[in-house]
A = this chain, B = another copy of it.
Amino acid sequence: MPAPDDVYAACCPCRDMLDLLANKWSALALGALEDGPQRFGALRTRLQGVSPKVLTATLRRLEDHGLITRHIYPEIPPRVEYTLTALGHDANGPLSALRTWVESNIGRFPSGRETSDVSA
Contact = CB atoms under 8 A, between A and B. Distances in A.
Nearest to A58: B118
Contacts of A32: 8
How many monomers of this chain does the complex have?
Answer: 2
Interface residues of A, number: 65
Contact of A120 (B7, B16, B93, B119): B119
Given A66-B108, A108-B87, A113-B64, A98 B48 contact: no
Contact of A17 (B8, B25, B94, B106): B106
A76 interface: no
Given A8-B32, A65-B112, A66-B112, A87 B105 contact: yes
B87 A91 contact: no
